[in-house]
Amino acid sequence: PPPPTFFFTPLPLPTTCALCGGGRFFSISDTSSPELWAPALDESAAALQERLQGTPDEWLQRRVPLIEGDGSLAGWRVLMMLVEHEVHHRSQIDTYAGLNGWSPPDIFGMSAEGLADREDAQRRRLAERGG
């Protein structure tokens, strides 16, 4: 875990709610210490799943107007942006960890180095089989 020099303070809840039109933007879970971060993320993920449950499949193709301009995006694209945003923040954490000499936790129990080792082993097995 990061040393005590790591701090993150989101905008106060009333400010973020005002910025995003009154909805919940940041988790209201206690994130004051590193051991509370994973439960807060789990709560946030469960809340999103609950909000999306029962959404009709046709909404994936429904057009969502952009905040600025006259354009729109398909519903599936908006959902994809959630994943892309998560990847963006994961890369920020990995970069910050690297700069501070920490080893960030692997995603899905694998590191890039571990995947490279597995790929080499798989290629050797295929070569031995004549594949």
Phi/psi region, residue 130 (left: phi>0; alpha: psi -120 to 50; beta: rest), is: left
Residue 39 pLDDT more than 80?
Answer: yes
Q: 131 is written with which tokens?
A: 């594949």
The total number of structural domains in the chain stands at 2
If asked whether residues 32 and 50 sit together in one domain, one would say yes
Residue 105 pLDDT greater than 90, yes or no: no
Look at residue 7 and tell me whether its pLDDT is greater than 70. no
Q: For all residues of the chain together, what is the average pLDDT?
A: 78
Strand partners, 63: 74
Q: Tell the burial category of 31 from Cβ atoms under 10 Å away from its Cβ (0-12, 13-18, 19+).
A: middle
* 77 in the same domain as 97: yes
Q: 43 and 95 share a domain?
A: no
pLDDT at residue 89 tops 80 = yes
Same domain, 12 and 73: no
pTM of the model: 0.55
State which amino acid sits at residue 58: E
Look-up of token digits 């923040």: 89
Tell which residue, 102, 99, 67, has the closest CA to residue 81: 67
Same domain, 46 and 78: no
Q: Does residue 6 carry a pLDDT above 90?
A: no
Q: Are both 62 and 45 inside the same structural domain?
A: no
Structure tokens at 70: 């006259």
Owning domain of residue 88:
55-131
Instruction: Name the nearest CA neighbour of 72 among 83, 62, 63, 60.
Output: 63
User: 126 is written with which tokens?
Assistant: 């295929």
The string of pLDDT tens digits covering residues 47-71 is: 888 988 999 999 999 999 998 889 9
Q: Alpha-carbon distance 36 to 31, whole Å?
A: 5
